[in-house]
Structure 1
């Protein structure tokens, strides 16, 4: 009999596909509005605005140093799933604009929608033993070891990144961006608890 606490391969596959698709949709909203965000995705966004390289290229590159931590601290299975998730976002993100565009998107609504979509994406990935790399790996490791919520760790990192963003983007763009990042991290902090959801 299958252990009800363990996800099947098909369940993992759909969870990771859902998570990466929703994350890519979140990036589409973000870049359409010219926003920034936190974590490694935020770093990749800022670098893409400052260079001729795409978000996808930077996102893949900035995550590379964190795979070793994921492997050493959390395990090979987690690292492989995370690598797959990052690779899928890298592929899906530049494809979505071919099929989706926004005629009118209010920045406040867009920020909240980005937050909900990305929060749901990260929840799905976390619950299926993956992340989108970078600070997500570090946040999950800290949560596993200390019980300090992953969302709060990410929120602290985001605060530092947004301090830098104020020197690169206009004030209101950063304010709207922070709203989106706040929603993402609140979704994770409130909903992602190991004692409530233990399947892996």
Structure 2
């Protein structure tokens, strides 16, 4: 039986492939700002709970417990060596956007430290929500041709070049980073930190798949 006039039809029903419509410059800028906000907020939640996470964010949080600098600023400083790899592996446009993202995170982290005070009563809440927020921030950036640098650039490159799921490759990096974290945080905090890393990777595993969206 045919579909009624005006009834929703999928691309599969129509036998056609969806047209690739590139993002406008305004859409890209807005997405990069949103991604920076989400990443900065997620880092602040984890820092308030004394936790770390995976990826470059976890390294920044880990170092922030040893030196009196905002995690977001450390995030950017650690990423500097990775910009060259971003250029060679993903192109100049990706690198420029990634540099802009890192500058935005550094500035937002300084502003957030002066403007917002977060008290966390439940490390489980901070781990789950903080990790999810960071994951959504990374996803927003990836959908608009940017990354957070560090291991994030490598996972996106593996996804683009070899089709390896970004979430799965991120888990491999996270295991190493969380193992190193035991030298700074206790086992209980490490367990909650592992939950935060799983929340980040879960977002990428669920929604960063080849063919599901256009872009990287």
Shared fold per TM-score greater than 0.5? yes
Q: Find the aligned partners of 1:52 and 1:16 in 2 and give their Cα distance.
A: 27
Tell me what 1:9 maps to. Answer: 25
Moved more, 52-61 or 3-12: 52-61
TM-score (norm 1): 0.93
Instruction: Compare CA radii of gyration and give the structure with the larger one.
Output: 2
Is structure 2 residue 201 aligned with structure 1 residue 182? no
Return the offset for 1:5.
Answer: 2.2
- For the 8 Å contact 1:36–1:45, the answer to whether it is kept is yes
SS of match in other structure, 2:65 = helix
Q: Does 1:123 align with 2:139?
A: yes
Does the Cα contact within 8 Å between 2:76 and 2:102 map onto a contact in 1? yes
1:166 is aligned to 182
Partner Cα distance (1:64, 1:137) in 2: 12
Structure 2 residue runs of 5 or longer lacking an equivalent are 1-18
Distance in 1 separating the partners of 2:196 and 2:95: 27
Structure 1 residue 185 displacement after superposition? 0.5
Match of residue 172, structure 2, among 149, 156, 163: 156
More helix by share: 1
- The corresponding residue for 2:103 is 87
2:20–2:214 contact (8 Å) kept in structure 1: no
Cα distance change of structure 1 residues 103 and 141 upon mapping to structure 2, 3 Å threshold: closer
Q: Which runs of 5+ in 1 are unaligned?
A: none
Give the number of the structure with larger relative contact order, counting CA–CA contacts within 8 Å between residues 6 or more apart.
Answer: 1
Cα deviation, residue 45, structure 1: 1.5
The answer to which of 3-12 and 108-117 deviates more is: 3-12
Between the aligned partners of 2:174 and 2:81, the Cα distance in structure 1 is 19
Measured at CA, do residues 6 and 69 of structure 1 come closer, stay the same or move farther in structure 2, by a change above 3 Å? same
How much does 1:103 deviate?
4.3
SS of 1:50's partner is coil
Instruction: Check whether the contact 1:135–1:154 (CA below 8 A) recurs between aligned residues.
Output: yes
CA distance in 1, matches of 2:118, 2:64: 21
TM-score, scaled to structure 2: 0.86
Q: Conserved in 1, the CA contact under 8 Å of 2:53 and 2:131?
A: no
CA contact 2:36–2:105 (8 Å) conserved in 1: yes
Aligned length: 198
Match of 2:40 in 1: 24
Runs of 4+ with deviation above 4 angstroms: none
**1:144 and 2:144 matched:** no
Given that residues 5 and 199 in structure 1 are in contact (C-alpha distance below 8 angstroms), is that contact kept between their aligned partners in structure 2?
A: no
